Chains A and B, each alone.
Chain A
Amino acid sequence: MSTVLPILPEALLLVLGILILIIDPFLRKDAARRSFLGWFTVAGMFIILAVSLAFARPANPTQVFGGMLRFDWLGFVFAMFFVFAAGVTALFFMDAEQLGRRAEAYLLLVAATIGMCLMAASADLVMLYLAIETTSIPLYLLAGFLKEDDKSTEAGFKYMLFGALTSAVLLYGLSLIYGFTGKTNLYDLGSYFSSFNLAAVGIIFLVLAGLAFKVSLFPFHFWAPDVYEGAPTQVAGFLSTASKAAGFAVIIRLFIAAFPAIHADWSLILAVLATLTMTVGNLIALAQKSIKRMLAYSSIAHAGYAMIGVVAFSQLGIASVVFYLIGYVLTNLLAFGIVGTVGRLTGSDDFQAYAGLSRRNPTLGLASLVAFLSLAGMPPFVGFVAKFFVFSAAIQAGWVWLAIVGVLNSIVGLYYYLNVLKYIYLYRMENQDEEQHQLQVARPVVIGLIVLVAGILLLGILFGPWFGFATKAAASIF
């Protein structure tokens, strides 16, 4: 039994996936029965979450399965919120007809989640690559899931091409590591990279190329806006949150385990990339007319903010990144969830579609308030606390200029987030007859939104225990 515990979430997810496959043929193709699939997945996810939290908490970090995985708090924390994100995404899937009725969608979701959990826990180069591919391929498929929609197909294709390319580069980098060190276990590599020589530079760049793609860091962010815009909104939400967080998990673990001695150098590289990412993301977001594209660029910018914590290279830094990502997952999922449901109800993703939203559905208006203000970094939402700690870690480590850049970028971000709220709260529909055009949100989405809003508020106000988890995660690798 104890051998299963480290991979309890993954194992249970596998079981869930199989069950979905089994149940699918038995359900008729009508809506009522089909929604059962969705509820089943959701329930399954939350049961997995509960069971894992109860039984599968790590003690001291140990390497398991012959050094393939490291059972520690970092991997565990990430795994838990991947499962949570997947659960909520499944709720949102139920709102999208094309996705919600197809078992394949849920299955792919589960598969991607398994891959992500493994990514977060991987301690071996090969395992790492395997996990990344396990995550990516289902996501390519999900991005292009809407067969009839050209944009979706294009998105999926683009994602796959870009992803395959960068993943090949990553593989090359990983193989170079093996070539130079003869080891595949991450925790054996530390001693080999003691100076920033040509080999190290080359390897880091190659590896970073692959991983930067995953987290949409400049200059590997170009795919994100198109893919997010084309893919079904719910999938975009999952992509922008869980998949990105998984990439961060890998970066954190890999860089700290394998290149601790030369951290000053790669920190600088990451700092520059983070600056460019934040700036480019924020500035281009200003010009967007489609809310999905705006959110895409906003997500790019947020990757930049999160990266600041990695740059700090301290326990507080890593803890702040983890906390930031948790908060970011909640917030961005909420934002995309709202966009998804409004997109379905109004048929458009333009800003104009949001005019008068607060009158058409006041609750949705308030949820948007929570989402966008949290993205902007306002209290009492988690976004504020997350940014505060990330900047705090940067200043502690002496990266004051980086914190200032982050802060200035937050100001730009505030502008366009407030702009959205302006549409929602101030502007009105053409005929000012919002009374006649009330929006009715589907039940699963409502539950999802409530859960996320509660989470954002909870982590924004009573952040102590949650930051404690993040600290545990950081402590386990530092």
Chain B
Amino acid sequence: MHFPFLSVIVFTPLVAALIILLYKPGQKKAIRVTALSAAVFALAMSLVVYFSYDKALAGYQFVEKYSWMPMLGISLHFGVDGMSAPLVLLTGIVMVTGVMISWGIEDRPREFFAFLFILASGVFGVFASLDLFMLFFFYEIAVFPMYLLISIWGWIKTREYAAMKLTLYLFIGSVVSMIGALVMYWTSGLHTFDMLVLETAKFSPAFQKIWFLPVFLGFAILGGIFPFHNWSPDGHVAAPTAVSMFHAGVLMKLGAFAALRVGIMLLPQGAKFWAPLIIVLALVNIVYGAFIASVQTDFKYVIGFSSVSHMGLVMMGFATLTPEGLTGAGVQMFSHGIMTALFFAAVGMVYDRAHTRQIPELGGMIKPLPLVGIAVIVGSLVSMGMPGFSGFIAEFPIFMGMWKTHAIVAIIAAISIVVTASYVLLVVRRVFFGKMPEALEGHITPIRTLDKIALVLLMALMIGIGLFPALIVPWVQTGVQHILALLGGA
């Protein structure tokens, strides 16, 4: 590939952020239009990358390597494989829909979009990185804008607390992993941060057993693994809508993905050793997350905890270390990303109009907001793994992976399906159907055209994949094959 697609994708948001910062604060329209154009451009590029990826060839494609600091073996090294290509696409989609949803931000949109785009660049960078140093570089770039975005534009009641908690938690996770990564770098003796080369480094089993856990857990904190998931629900709730979409939709996948890339793929024997522990933790995520979600009264907290539960499925899929589990995890990252982006967008729309997220205070929303209601219904069906939607396509193989490790895991995890179904249906019914409380009568204005486009796009993706798994599964499978090779060969 001669055209540097990945560099363009990674740096477009950053460049756009700089341009946006040059506007005067009053030029709101220009700011928004620039933001949307940049997002659409990045999405278009990521679509090209996704559909031009040669599945027969597999491996890393669109590779670009620029020597950055040869002395220590650091290079700006990009490439996507079957696992990361869908995630790059996911980021593009969430970016575009996030910008559409944020069209109405009136308080300093300039800084908002600038920070959001810095975040986006960081996310793209991690997904595309094949250099360990650069992975951390972009990873941290994706962390600090969250603080600003949540504390400045977030929900006034908890934003300061949630923003600080989130940032510190994530930072801790990343530096713990960083230490592990540095130890790996020096122990390998290969004097390079190139992950492709590091995949071939033969770390001793004892070394892997010690260092896998800090590296994996450090990243998995961002994935929301129990018991370090605490930052996530508060962070979700406090963040403004687009940031929640990014946070749950993409950022948590970042953590899981990095845990996979650096933890499992570079320390495969350590992964095998610690897999049972990860399975137990992920199982707690899945079941506990569902139960906690079912007792929440704030709509956004319901979704926040449901994210904890669904990310548990991703990490469970990884931990099974089976082709089915890994495939399911890869699809779940995409499917859940879209689903949760949709949920948060919808919640945001309801909150902007009703000024409350307490479920007992809502009701009858389907009349003034029919599309939002349908979108939430579709999202709910995905959430409970209803066949015909992407959630089922993702969850089913993960369960198969669970069967392969231990039957009891699958049986316990299955409880979460029913729990999820019950709370999600109840929430939908209470918020969207029934009688609208008098306080809200007349205050619920219709949604913007851009909002409608965003919702329809997200719904279409979930239904499309649900009916035609071939839209994503073959990509993920090529990536999974590579991972299995590393696991088997180790």
Which of B110, B168, B186 meets A415, CB within 8 Å?
Answer: B168
Task: Determine the distance from Cα of A301 to Cα of B74 in the docked complex, in whole angstroms.
Answer: 28
Q: Chain B interface: which of A52-60, A270-278, A403-411?
A: A403-411
Residues on B with C-beta less than 8 A from A414 are 167-168, 171
The contact string, 1 if C-beta is below 8 Å from chain A, for chain B 426-456, is: 0000000000000000000000000000000
Task: Determine the distance from Cα of A421 to Cα of B160 in the docked complex, in whole angstroms.
Answer: 11
Whether the pair B152, A425 counts as a contact (CB closer than 8 A) is: yes
The contact string, 1 if C-beta is below 8 Å from chain A, for chain B 182-211, is: 110110000000000000000000000000
> What band does the interface of chain B fall in when counting residues whose beta carbon is under 8 Å from A?
35 or more
Given known pairs A388-B133, A404-B179, A425-B152, the reply for A411 and B171 (CB within 8 Å) is yes
Whether the pair B179, A379 counts as a contact (CB closer than 8 A) is: no
> A136 an interface residue at 8 Å Cβ cutoff?
no
Task: Determine the distance from Cα of A471 to Cα of B133 in the docked complex, in whole angstroms.
Answer: 19
Residue of B nearest to A418 (CB): B147
Task: Determine the distance from Cα of A362 to Cα of B110 in the docked complex, in whole angstroms.
Answer: 10
Between A and B, 12 residue pairs with Cβ closer than 8 Å are A384-B137, A384-B140, A388-B178, A392-B185, A395-B186, A410-B171, A411-B168, A422-B151, A425-B151, A464-B71, A467-B69, A467-B71
Whether the pair A463, B69 counts as a contact (CB closer than 8 A) is: yes
> B111 an interface residue at 8 Å Cβ cutoff?
yes
Task: Determine the distance from Cα of A392 to Cα of B186 in the docked complex, in whole angstroms.
Answer: 8
Given known pairs A388-B136, A463-B69, the reply for A395 and B148 (CB within 8 Å) is no
Which of A369, A376, A415, A471 meets B164, CB within 8 Å?
Answer: A415
Which of A373, A379, A407 meets B137, CB within 8 Å?
Answer: A379
Whether the pair B148, A425 counts as a contact (CB closer than 8 A) is: yes
Whether the pair A400, B179 counts as a contact (CB closer than 8 A) is: yes
Given known pairs A388-B136, A403-B182, the reply for A410 and B175 (CB within 8 Å) is yes
> B176 an interface residue at 8 Å Cβ cutoff?
yes
Whether the pair B160, A422 counts as a contact (CB closer than 8 A) is: yes
Quote the shortest CB–CB distance from B443 to chain A (angstroms). Answer: 26
The contact string, 1 if C-beta is below 8 Å from chain A, for chain B 130-142, is: 0001001110110
Residues on A with C-beta less than 8 A from B136 are 379, 388
Which positions 358-412 of chain A face chain B at CB distance < 8 Å?
358-359, 362, 366, 369, 373, 376, 378-380, 384, 388-389, 391-392, 395-396, 400, 403-404, 407, 410-411
Residues on A with C-beta less than 8 A from B351 are none
Residues on A with C-beta less than 8 A from B68 are 463-464
Which positions 70-113 of chain B face chain A at CB distance < 8 Å?
70-72, 74, 108, 110-111
Residue of B nearest to A425 (CB): B152
Whether the pair B137, A403 counts as a contact (CB closer than 8 A) is: no
Which of B25, B141, B176 meets A407, CB within 8 Å?
Answer: B176
> B21 an interface residue at 8 Å Cβ cutoff?
yes
> A468 an interface residue at 8 Å Cβ cutoff?
yes
> B144 an interface residue at 8 Å Cβ cutoff?
yes
Whether the pair A378, B179 counts as a contact (CB closer than 8 A) is: no
> B45 an interface residue at 8 Å Cβ cutoff?
no
Residues on A with C-beta less than 8 A from B152 are 425-426
Number of contacting residues on A, CB 8 A?
36
Residue of A nearest to B176 (CB): A407
Residues on A with C-beta less than 8 A from B171 are 410-411, 414
Which positions 5-45 of chain B face chain A at CB distance < 8 Å?
21, 25
> B172 an interface residue at 8 Å Cβ cutoff?
yes
Which positions 437-478 of chain A face chain B at CB distance < 8 Å?
463-464, 467-468, 471
Whether the pair A403, B140 counts as a contact (CB closer than 8 A) is: no
Task: Determine the distance from Cα of A388 to Cα of B21 in the docked complex, in whole angstroms.
Answer: 28
Query: B: which residues have CB within 8 A of A?
Result: 21, 25, 68-72, 74, 108, 110-111, 133, 136-138, 140-141, 143-144, 147-148, 151-152, 159-160, 164, 167-168, 171-172, 175-176, 178-179, 182-183, 185-186
Residues on B with C-beta less than 8 A from A389 are 72
Task: Determine the distance from Cα of A118 to Cα of B186 in the docked complex, in whole angstroms.
Answer: 36
Residues on B with C-beta less than 8 A from A359 are 108
Which of A384, A391, A467, A471 meets B179, CB within 8 Å?
Answer: A391
Whether the pair B164, A379 counts as a contact (CB closer than 8 A) is: no
Quote the shortest CB–CB distance from B451 to chain A (angstroms). Answer: 27
Quote the shortest CB–CB distance from A301 to chain B (angstroms). Answer: 15
Task: Determine the distance from Cα of A418 to Cα of B147 in the docked complex, in whole angstroms.
Answer: 8
Residue of B nearest to A319 (CB): B71
Residues on A with C-beta less than 8 A from B168 are 411, 414-415
Whether the pair A392, B160 counts as a contact (CB closer than 8 A) is: no
List 15 extra interface pairs beyond A389-B72, A411-B172, CB under 8 A.
A362-B25, A369-B148, A373-B144, A384-B140, A391-B179, A391-B182, A395-B182, A400-B179, A403-B182, A407-B176, A411-B168, A414-B171, A418-B147, A421-B148, A425-B148
Whether the pair B179, A426 counts as a contact (CB closer than 8 A) is: no
Which of A373, A380, A392, A410 meets B182, CB within 8 Å?
Answer: A392
Whether the pair A418, B185 counts as a contact (CB closer than 8 A) is: no
Whether the pair A468, B71 counts as a contact (CB closer than 8 A) is: yes
Which positions 191-205 of chain A face chain B at CB distance < 8 Å?
none
Residues on B with C-beta less than 8 A from A366 are 21
Whether the pair B141, A403 counts as a contact (CB closer than 8 A) is: no
Task: Determine the distance from Cα of A388 to Cα of B185 in the docked complex, in whole angstroms.
Answer: 12
Whether the pair B71, A379 counts as a contact (CB closer than 8 A) is: no
Residues on B with C-beta less than 8 A from A379 are 136-138, 140-141
Which of A384, A403, A426 meets B160, CB within 8 Å?
Answer: A426
Quote the shortest CB–CB distance from A464 to chain B (angstroms). Answer: 4
Whether the pair A378, B175 counts as a contact (CB closer than 8 A) is: no
Whether the pair A358, B111 counts as a contact (CB closer than 8 A) is: yes
Whether the pair B71, A407 counts as a contact (CB closer than 8 A) is: no
Task: Determine the distance from Cα of A379 to Cα of B136 in the docked complex, in whole angstroms.
Answer: 9
Which of A362, A411, A418, A426 meets B175, CB within 8 Å?
Answer: A411
Residues on A with C-beta less than 8 A from B138 are 379
Quote the shortest CB–CB distance from A151 to chain B (angstroms). Answer: 32
Quote the shortest CB–CB distance from A386 to chain B (angstroms). Answer: 13
Residue of A nearest to B175 (CB): A407
Residues on A with C-beta less than 8 A from B110 are 362
Quote the shortest CB–CB distance from B383 to chain A (angstroms). Answer: 33
Quote the shortest CB–CB distance from B27 to chain A (angstroms). Answer: 13
Which of B133, B147, B179 meets A421, CB within 8 Å?
Answer: B147
Whether the pair B151, A426 counts as a contact (CB closer than 8 A) is: yes
